[in-house]
Structure 1
Amino acid sequence: MKNKKLLIALGAVCLVNFIAHLCFYPAMPDTVPMHWGFDGQVDGWGPKYMILVTALIPAVILLLIAVVPKIDPRSENFQKFGGIYRGFLAGIVLFMCGISWLSELTVYNVLPDGSSLVGVLVSGGIGILFILLGNYMPRIKQNYTFGCRTPWALADEHNWNRTQRMGGIT
């Protein structure tokens, strides 16, 4: 039941995110910033419709991460670390919803071109996700989808546990 409520809530967030992008879409220029260099300078441009494509990415990620446990050969183990998986799902979907707004924020000069704020936001967000994931990796049970999936770890549960512990530290 927890999974269903979370999926509905995250689906609603993705829908609101997409509708909000649609509201800003008519006022956007024909060419919009799509990629930023490490120094914060826009170094990639794309057509206007790419804003809607990036707005769909969180929903696609939500769909993929929700379906994967159902097709994993060791799907019963997902029940043992369901809280971690749900937390990862919520974190990555919300982070990608935030990232989808970088183009609009740059066009409206909320994120000025050349400031390193884009790099700080993206790198900081990914760093926080990695720190949280590394902290919880030792609790991930053996599966073919989520965690450090090396051949020796998938072959033996003891190796899996040690690999996840080392992967979390790394």
Structure 2
Amino acid sequence: MPQPLADTLTHLRVGNQTFLINFYQDHRDDFAEWARQHHQLDRAAAHELLRSILVEFYNQVADGRLTKLPPDLRAHLYGMAEQLPQAATTTALPAAEARRRRHLLGLFGQLGPDCQQVLMFFYFRGYNFKKLAGKMGFANATVGRLQKSSCLRRLYELHLRAEE
């Protein structure tokens, strides 16, 4: 018997991804056909796109950005898919910019996991200092701001050392 939607959301919030795995297995072929028709994606690329969408959906539930399941989950996920291929088909970066980004990514990898997480939450997920502090377990928003500043300073120092 299928799980009620409210239970599904609760299970996702605590990390149980069985629903998403089953959804992927049940819908990947239909999704691949849809992606081929609408975005000219081959089967492997369509499966990868569906996995990316399910990960983003899971992150939205886990972060509290999505508080209730949409009435038609399939339509919701296909709507998310409409936005992702457009971002993936942008033009390639100039070689100098691509090198600069690879260099910064390498420096970012040299930071400790906590610093990486702080910077990811702040810059890529757009968390404010209060939410950052809550996610990282800091006492308050001021501690989150100081930690972010410290991590950014470490990244800048790594960049300076690499230039020498």
TM-score of the aligned structures, taking structure 1 as reference length? 0.31
TM-score of the aligned structures, taking structure 2 as reference length? 0.31
Higher helix proportion: 2
Greater Rg by CA: 2
